[in-house]
Structure 1
Amino acid sequence: MKKKNRIKKNEDFQKVFKHGKSMANRQFVIYMLGQPEEKEFRLGLSVSKKIGNAVTRNRIKRLVRQVFLEEKDSLKTGIDYIVIARKPASEMDYHEVKSSLLHLFRKTKVHRARPQRENSIKNT
């Protein structure tokens, strides 16, 4: 993930926490704040030490980043996202993490409708 797509500063995190909207499921909490002047989205990650050791925390962050990278074309731009991992996320594999985050994307309506494939249209 590019540097311009990351949220690193505490003041940026606090701004999203105070003024953004949040949605949660059992594994993740996602905070979102619109930034209309931005052309792309930015992502901040928070994984507590309560979740596990450094290896576990970094693994969760890698998986979340990968999901955002794969879904970047279908996510709305101009939004700051902060993802907070909860304890059950430490035992999940990639597909479970992706499924959980896609569930949150649908709940928050940040997932753009994907264009239908031509093959599925031409089934006559």
Structure 2
Amino acid sequence: MPYAYRKSERIRSNNEFVSVMRGKRLSVDGLSLFYTRNDKAHFRVGIAVSKKLVNAVGRNRLKRQIRACIMQGLRETASGYDLVFVVRRELLHADHARVLTAVEKLLHRAPLRRSGSEGTAT
């Protein structure tokens, strides 16, 4: 599975999701990004798709698409952040290119980029 995260790179519990969602938020094209700093040497990612939007097959398809796009976009992202991506209705029937564009826009707009030194955000 090329886009699998290690257990330590995933946000899994409801409390962790709620904690990150109290942080800062950006929204673009049917996708929202919530992010906060963490005290770890790596980033952690969570993806949320409401059961009200689509069935399990559709939710998992969207999560796979977003996971693939995140892995492409996180190369330039600083470590030490918790990220939660929340899918909105507008992104339900989007193709991969549109999902990739939305993820790239969010990661570019968020102050998560690495500066000259490893692991620090600008």
Q: Number of residue pairs matched?
A: 112
The answer for the alignment partner of 1:64 in structure 2 is 66
Moved over 4 A (4+): none
Q: Which residue of 2 aligns with 1:75?
A: 77
Runs of 5+ consecutive residues of structure 1 not aligned to the other structure: 114-124
Are 2:73 and 2:107, in contact at CA under 8 Å, matched by a contact in 1? no
1:87-98 paired onto structure 2 within 5 Å: 87-98=89-100
Aligned residue number for residue 25 of structure 2: 22
Q: Which amino acid aligns with 1:101?
A: V
TM-score normalized with structure 1 length: 0.82
Residue 2 (1) aligns with residue 10 (2): no
2:61 counterpart letter in structure 1: R
Q: Distance in 2 between matches of 1:89 and 1:111?
A: 25
Residues 66-91 of structure 1: CA deviation (Å, up to 9, x unaligned): 11112222112100000100012111
Structure 1 or 2, whichever has the larger Rg, is 1
Bigger share in helix? 1
- Segments of structure 2 that go 5 or more residues without pairing to the other structure are 116-122
User: Percent identity among equivalent residues?
Assistant: 28
Superposition map of 1:38-57 within 5 A: 38-57=40-59
- On the 8 A contact 1:50/1:87 being kept in 2, the answer is no
Structure 2 distance, partners of 1:17, 1:46, is 11
**RMSD between aligned residues:** 1.7
